[in-house]
Structure formats: C-alpha cells, structure tokens
Structure 1
Amino acid sequence: MATKAALKRLTREYQNIQKNPPPYIVAHPSESNILEWHYIITGPPGTPYENGQYWGTLMFPPEYPFAPPAIRMHTPSGRFQPSSRLCLSISDFHPKSFNPAWEVSTIIIGLLSFMTSEEMTTGSISASEAERRVLAARSRWWNSTGGGSHVSATPGVTPTSKGINNVKAGDGGVKFRTEWPELDQDNWKWMKSNRIDENTGQILRDPNASATNCSPETSALRRRPNGSAPGLGSVIEGGHVAREAGHSWTYRHTVWIGLAVMFGYALLSRLVNDVQGR
C-alpha cells in the first residue's frame, strides 16, 4: 500500500505526464493499484524498433520517491528478456543511485535511451537488427493476443487480469486489454485490415494481391520467429533454399564439375606421356 507521500507524488506525476507526454511514450497507473504503472513505448524512427508497440510495467515501492521501481518490458523486443526485471541505474537494482527528483517520465525516457543503445545488463539480450525489426512488426499482435494464446483458452476457465505475473504469453492478452482497451481495439482492427493470422502473427496470403507487392513490414510479418536469440526469427536458411531452387543442376555443381574436368585432363596427359615414352 502506498504511503501518503507516494500517493501524492504519483498522482501529480500522472497529471503531468497526461499534459506533457514525452515523445514516443504514454503511461498510466493501474486503476486498482497506483504503485503499478503501465507504459507503452513506440519504437522511434531510424531504429530497429521503429513503429513497434512495447508494453511494460513499473512497480513502485510504497516509499517512492525515496526508492526506485522495478522495471519490466513484456513485449518481445530483441533487446530485453520479456517480463524480466531490468538492472538499470534507475531501477530497483540500484536503490542507492536513485535520485528522488526523478519522475516517471524521467525513468521511462531513461529506459528508452538504454533500449536504443547496445549496452548489456541483467535482463538484456543480443539480437540482430533484422530480428528486432521482425519483432517490432509482430508487437501489436503479441500484445493483444498474448503471443497467440487467446485461441487456446481452457473451456470454462476465465482468465484473470490481476497482478503483473499474468502478462507473459499465455494469458490471451487479458492484462494488456485491461490496461490498454483502446489500443487493443486498434490492434485488432490493424490485424484484420492487414490480414494477420491471430494464431501465428504472420500475414495471410491474399489470393488477389500481386506476389511482387511486398513492403518491408509485410516481409517481416511473413517471417517465422525461430532464430538464435529467444523468440526471434531467422530467414537465412530459407534464402539459401530459394536461391538453390532458382538455379540449374549444372550451376549448383560448378565446383565439382570443374574438379572432374581438371582430374580428367591430368589423367589423359599422363596416359599420352606414357604412350610416347614407350
């Protein structure tokens, strides 16, 4: 339960962030608990996260602002382990370095700055730019479907939206829908208009569309997230297969044919020399 000081401070900060939201950031406290804040970071242009929708939570201690919050990002990004506590100078990993003058907006701006860097810490991961772009393209689908788990709900069991432990893939998007109902509706409209498969997050083929009309975002949505880093996708093997399928047998075996010709020439030359030497 929040102290009076924390309640007063967080109430004022919510008013401030509503009036002057930082670029690419929106945030609000949960209706049931002012110490539980939810934020959305929109991936900035010119980064691998461009147009991605990254949802996370700040869990403030009752004694805030004299102690920092626990920071998590739930949406897979290729930068952070989903729903893991992040070790930052502005998080609860370093309470002694936290400045009481820092506000919610300051904390999330700091998180965004760290996200767009390549510095490693507890809770961060490595991934390629291409992998991060794939996850950015799939982020709206992931948030609103719980990673596709909305289609596999157990009959007769009603998912709960209480607590922050229900935000990983598997809750069917219930927690996101509870905290961001308008964004959730927009996401479903976006999935429908872009023919996104609710089960996989991949774009469905439009039989009336030209096969050559393929935007970068559409290409990303068609890729499967089965790569080197957790939850990521790799298309290298598929590219090799496609290239080989487009070449003839002779082209694909040029090296072996060349070696066979050289070996045959050498053998023939030796036979000629042996005959002449007799």
Structure 2
Amino acid sequence: MAEKACVKRLQKEYRALCKEPVPQIVARPLPSDILEWHYVLEGSEDTPFAGGCYYGKIKFPPEYPYKPPSISMITPSGRFAPHKKICLSMSDFHPESWNPIWSVSSILTGLLSFMMDDSSQTTGSVKSTDSEKRCLAKASLAYNCESKNCPNFKKLFPEFVEKYEQPHALGQSVLEQSNYKDLPSGPPAARIEPAKRTEQEVEKNIAVNHAENRRQSRNLPFWLLLLLASVFGVVMALPLLQL
C-alpha cells in the first residue's frame, strides 16, 4: 500500500502533467492503482523512431519519491526488449543514484532522450537496424491498439485510438463510395421502379395497338361494303345468265 506522501506526490505530478503536457510524452496512472503509470513516447523526427508511438509502464514503490521506480516498454521498438525492465540511472537498477526531486516528467524525458540515442546500450536494450526500427515505428500504433499485450491502452489513451481508427474509417468510406459508383444511381426502389414502368408501358402499347387493329378490321368503310355487295350480286347472277 502506498504511503500518504507517495500518493500526494503522484497526484500532484499528475495534475502538473495535465496542466503543462510535456512534448512527445503522455503519462497517466491506472485509475485503480496510482502506483502504476502508463506512458506513450512519440518518436522524434529525423530518427528511425519518427512516427512511432511507444507504450510502456512505470511502477512506483510505496516509498516514492525516496525510492526509484521500475521502467519497462511494451511496444516493440528495436531499442528496448518488450516487457523487460530498463536499466537507467533514474530506475530501480540504481537506487544509489536516485534523486527524490526527479518526477514522472523528468523520468520519461530522460527515457525518451536515451531511447533516441541508439549508441548507448544497457540492460533491457536490444540492437536492430534503422530499417527494422522504421518498420516497427510504422506498426507501433496498430500494435498498441490491437495487441492482447496492451489491455489498458485503449482505456488510458483514447486520443491515440482515435488517431489509429481515423485512417481505417476513411479507407472504408472511400471503398464504399467506390463500390457505390459502380451501381446505378438512386436508392434500390428508384432503380427498380423505372424498369417496371417501362415494361408496363410496352405491354400497354402492345395492347392498344392490338385493339386498334381489331377495331379497324371490324369497322370497314361503307363504299367497300357496297363494292363487296355488288361483286357478290354479280357472282350470284352468273348462273341465271347462262340459262
């Protein structure tokens, strides 16, 4: 259980971070345990870590600020081994060099500076090529949001989750619009209705034409009826003339 002085100190530091955020650094305690802080470091420009979001933990002892915390990084970075404690002068590897005036912001600022300087190695660090670091930087945000190794990331850092989801939502929207352009315009009912109307109009025209033909065939001109009657009369009179 944390000592009263420890709780007060960490609460004060959290308020200070909220009031004056440190560039490239975001840090927040677990709501259920003020001794466990989670952080995100953003890679510096002009380094292989540019664009990366590196998620990790700081665990403070109940005697903080009189004893140093342990520091680890969860996101694969090519600089530190995931989940391994990192040896720094301000970590629990070196309690003899710890200074009680150091704070969360100074600890993480030192960690960020040490991370960007790839020439220094320590316990918990790893070696990798710049190309590997760049690949890991590009994949870091997706790892933090999707990996089972980061169960608290989405809860503590919703702004980074939103940053991750925006390109996916935009890509999905573009895909849907592209697919929709290949379809006839208008809602489904509007697309089907004209076809039905056209079919009905054709059938109606056929029926009208058929009825008109029948009407014309029934209503013969009067002069044609007289001509037919005359021809019929001549034909009937021929046998009588032969007698």
Q: Could you state the TM-score of these two structures normalised by the residue count of structure 2?
A: 0.67
Aligned equivalents of 2:79, 2:27: Cα separation in 1: 20
Q: Which amino acid aligns with 1:176?
A: F
Please tell me whether the aligned partners of residues 27 and 38 of structure 1 are also in contact (alpha carbons under 8 angstroms).
Answer: yes
Counterparts in 2 of 1:73-222, with a 5 A limit? 73-117=73-117, 118-146=119-147, 170-171=148-149, 173-193=150-170
Aligned equivalents of 2:52, 2:75: Cα separation in 1: 9
Counterparts in 2 of 1:262-273, with a 5 A limit? none
Q: CA deviation at 1:192?
A: 4.4
- Unaligned 5+ segments in structure 1 are 147-169, 196-206, 209-278
Match of 1:273 in 2: none
Are 2:13 and 1:13 aligned?
yes
Q: CA deviation at 1:34?
A: 0.5
Aligned equivalents of 1:43, 1:116: Cα separation in 2: 8
- Unaligned 5+ segments in structure 2 are 173-177, 180-243
What secondary structure is seen at the aligned counterpart in 1 of 2:152?
helix
Aligned equivalents of 2:109, 2:4: Cα separation in 1: 26
Aligned equivalents of 1:101, 1:109: Cα separation in 2: 14
Larger radius of gyration: 2
Match of 1:41 in 2: 41
Q: Which amino acid aligns with 2:20?
A: N
Q: Which amino acid aligns with 2:126?
A: I
Aligned equivalents of 1:174, 1:194: Cα separation in 2: 26
Q: CA deviation at 1:194?
A: 5.8
Q: CA deviation at 1:130?
A: 1.0
Q: CA deviation at 1:190?
A: 3.0
Cα 1:91–1:191 shift into 2, 3 Å: farther
What secondary structure is seen at the aligned counterpart in 2 of 1:174?
coil
Q: CA deviation at 1:181?
A: 2.8
Task: Give deviations 1:155-195, integer Å, cap 9, x for gaps.
Answer: xxxxxxxxxxxxxxx44x43212222332233122344468
Match of 2:31 in 1: 31
Are 2:67 and 1:63 aligned?
no
What secondary structure is seen at the aligned counterpart in 2 of 1:17?
helix
Please tell me whether the aligned partners of residues 54 and 73 of structure 1 are also in contact (alpha carbons under 8 angstroms).
Answer: yes
Q: Could you state the TM-score of these two structures normalised by the residue count of structure 1?
A: 0.59
Q: Which amino acid aligns with 1:125?
A: V
Q: Which amino acid aligns with 2:78?
A: G
Task: Give deviations 1:7-31, integer Å, cap 9, x for gaps.
Answer: 0100111111111122211111110
Q: Which amino acid aligns with 2:10?
A: L
Counterparts in 2 of 1:234-273, with a 5 A limit? none
Please tell me whether the aligned partners of residues 141 and 191 of structure 1 are also in contact (alpha carbons under 8 angstroms).
Answer: no
Aligned equivalents of 2:100, 2:37: Cα separation in 1: 17
RMSD: 1.8
What secondary structure is seen at the aligned counterpart in 2 of 1:37?
strand
Q: Which amino acid aligns with 1:71?
A: I
